[in-house]
């Protein structure tokens, strides 16, 4: 079974530029998550989708971050304009059913962003 | 509010010795507890989880974890460490689904770096 796919793996941009990350979840997984992991910290949830609807985006900095999952499968996370503090790993993850809190969340390899 | 603490930034152990990586949590209601491992420049890999039932949970690569409700702990253990176990380990907790369709986030600790010396 293929895992969560993410691209690009690495990106270096200048501050105030824009960047977009793409994610394709595990086949059949209705729930998709974007996490931000800053060096030395644990991952923090940015946004959670259930199919193509947003379930939780309370920690998404909406003035510069946006995400969409138009067809309920793959998703894009965009940052515009980027700030130095956005340097982090952006992890996409998916799980099979929202209704069970015990369901395992599976992560992709991450997209590593450096803002200079 | 739910939270998880990993009190040790780093754990050092000699190869072949038992290892323990500590985790304590705070959540309203019954917890769902997870351990993930992160190798350098990689994403998070699922190791094991506790939902209900037996307090001792067995997972991947010979790891196990013991749920202790009275101490609100979920320590990760392995009887004999390998150099290849050296990585960053994250404990995570999720509370039961609240009413009204609200979400319950998976909350991660800050991670513990496990260094296994040959």
Q: What is the percent of chain B where pLDDT is above 90? A: 75
Q: Write out chain B residues lying below 8 Å of A106, CB-based.
A: 46
Token pair listed for B35: 């351990």
Residue A85, SS3 per DSSP: helix
Touching A: B residues 45-104, CB under 8 Å: 45-46, 49, 51-52, 90, 92, 94-97, 103-104
CB-CB contact of A47 with A62 (8 Å): no
Give the pLDDT score at A75: 97
> For B25-63, what is each residue's pLDDT tens digit?
998 888 899 999 999 888 899 999 999 889 999 999 999
Q: How far apart are CA A18 and CA A83, in angstroms?
A: 10
Q: With 0-12 CB in 10 A as exposed, 13-18 as middle and 19+ as buried, what is A2?
A: exposed
Q: Is it the case that residue A1 has pLDDT exceeding 90? A: no
Give the pLDDT score at B52: 87
Give the pLDDT score at B83: 97
Q: What is the CATH number of the domain that holds B49?
A: 2.60.40.10
Which residue segment(s) compose the domain that B77 sits in? Answer: 3-117
Q: Are B43 and A105 a contacting pair at CB < 8 A?
A: no
**Would you say the C-alpha torsion B34, B44, A105, B61 has a positive or negative sign?**
negative
Please compute, for residue B107, the number of CA atoms within 13 A of its CA located in the half-sphere on the CB side.
19
Nearest chain B Cα to A31, which residue?
Answer: B103
Rg, C-alpha atoms of chain B: 14
Give the pLDDT score at A71: 87
Question: What is the distance of C-alpha B37 from the center of its chain?
Answer: 9
Give the pLDDT score at B100: 44
Give the pLDDT score at B103: 57
Question: With b meaning 16 or more CB within 10 Å and e meaning fewer, what string describes A77-102?
Answer: bebeebeeebbbbbbbbbbbebeebb
Q: Are B103 and A55 a contacting pair at CB < 8 A?
A: yes
Q: Which residue has the tokens 């369901």?
A: A103
Domain tally, chain B: 1
Set out the domains of chain A in order of their start, with CATH numbers. 5-97+106-115 (2.60.40.10)
> For A6-58, what is each residue's pLDDT tens digit?
999 999 999 999 999 999 999 989 899 999 999 989 999 999 998 889 989 99
Please compute, for residue A101, the number of CA atoms within 13 A of its CA located in the half-sphere on the CB side.
24
Q: Is it the case that residue B98 has pLDDT exceeding 80? A: no
CB-CB contact of B23 with B74 (8 Å): yes
Q: Which residue has the tokens 């754990």?
A: B11
Q: Is it the case that residue B97 has pLDDT exceeding 80? A: no
């Amino acid at each position: 079974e293929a895992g969560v796919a993410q691209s690009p793996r690495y990106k270096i941009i200048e501050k105030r530029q824009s960047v977009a990350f793409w994610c394709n979840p595990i086949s059949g997984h209705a729930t998709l998550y974007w996490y931000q992991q800053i060096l030395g910290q644990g991952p923090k949830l940015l946004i959670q989708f259930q199919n193509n609807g947003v379930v939780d985006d309370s920690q998404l900095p909406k003035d510069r971050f946006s995400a969409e999952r138009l067809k309920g499968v793959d998703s894009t996370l965009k940052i515009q304009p980027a700030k130095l503090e956005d340097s982090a790993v952006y992890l996409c993850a998916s799980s099979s059913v929202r209704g069970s809190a015990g369901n395992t969340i599976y992560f992709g390899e991450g997209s590593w962003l450096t803002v200079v | 509010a739910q939270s998880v603490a990993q009190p040790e930034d780093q754990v050092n152990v000699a190869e072949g010795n038992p290892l323990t990586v500590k985790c304590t949590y705070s959540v309203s209601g019954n917890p769902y507890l997870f351990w993930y491992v992160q190798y350098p420049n990689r994403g998070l890999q699922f190791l094991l989880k506790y939902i209900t039932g037996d307090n001792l949970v067995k997972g991947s690569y010979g790891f196990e974890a013991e749920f202790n409700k009275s101490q609100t702990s979920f320590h990760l253990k392995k009887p004999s460490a390998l150099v290849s176990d050296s990585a960053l380990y994250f404990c995570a907790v999720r509370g039961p689904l609240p009413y009204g369709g609200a979400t319950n986030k998976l909350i991660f600790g800050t991670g513990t770096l496990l260094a296994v010396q040959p």
